[in-house]
Structure 1
């Protein structure tokens, strides 16, 4: 039995560069993504294998995936991301969430914080006017003296 490594997207050099930049090891393991998939399946009823829950619409499942993903990233502690607490601390391990490990936040969020967070709207850009300009804009303004 042997393990065959194949790249589906990108070159081997590009994959190695991303792995080096993210400091995530020397290889990509299928077990890591399968563990994440199992978390999503356990958290969202329409994704359960052989389940009876019906995904009524695709936007509903997409919204659920975003919610589960955000809760996973900001609210859940992960044993693989913990590190030893400083000497003299009253606890042995300093636990972190993936968002804390990525430097996005300094504390573990509660579900209330996550659901109450107001995402800032993107800046509004006026739509580009297409087609021929209206006739009003083409006519010169006439100055009428009173």
Structure 2
């Protein structure tokens, strides 16, 4: 999924996550250069190339300290990239601080829409291809069909249904589900 995302972006996005170590591992696998080792001239197998993470990768984490069920402290840390560069990128975003609220909300939406993505669910995705196809439909519904409250209220506070695709000027209207399924790219 990250390869697909980065292939569509003009520049590397700012990545923000909790401290689950898998995120850093995947980002390191995806955004790195292989530096060939200096030949030693000795017999035997040559050393493996060294992985160096791209200098333009911006990745930050959020650590929440809890006492019982309450969050008592939130620490933000830039893992890869320059802190000034991360802060400059945040100035252009709706949130001015490093947080995981948007992605946590989006993950909740995906889990509600697809039982295979739910935590501790008895369902199992038997095919990765079917899972990818269902997820693509969920993403399309999220962006083209479902109006978002924060996008739909203007300065006059009157509700006018607006989807993320409308806000990004990708489309001029809210799509119907029939229109989405009839779109030629999805029918192939």
TM-score by length of 2: 0.54
Q: C-alpha displacement at 1:98, in angstroms?
A: 1.0
Aligned to 2:79: 8
SS in 2 for 1:7: strand
* Alignment deviations for residues 62-108 of structure 1 (CA, whole Å, 9 cap, x no partner): 2211110111111001111122387xxxx932221111111111111
Aligned to 1:107: 173
Instruction: Tell me which structure has the larger Cα radius of gyration.
Output: 1
- Provide the rounded CA distance (Å) in 2 between the counterparts of 1:10 and 1:66: 31
2:108 pairs with 1:42: no
Structure 2 alignment gaps of length 5 or more: 1-71
How many aligned positions are there? 115
User: What do you get for the CA RMSD once the two structures are aligned?
Assistant: 2.3
Cα 1:13–1:75 change in 2 (3 A) is: same
Structure 1 alignment gaps of length 5 or more: 121-146
| Runs of 4+ with deviation above 2 angstroms | 7-21, 83-86
Quick check: which one's strand share is greater? Answer: 2
What is the 5 A alignment of 1:127-142? none
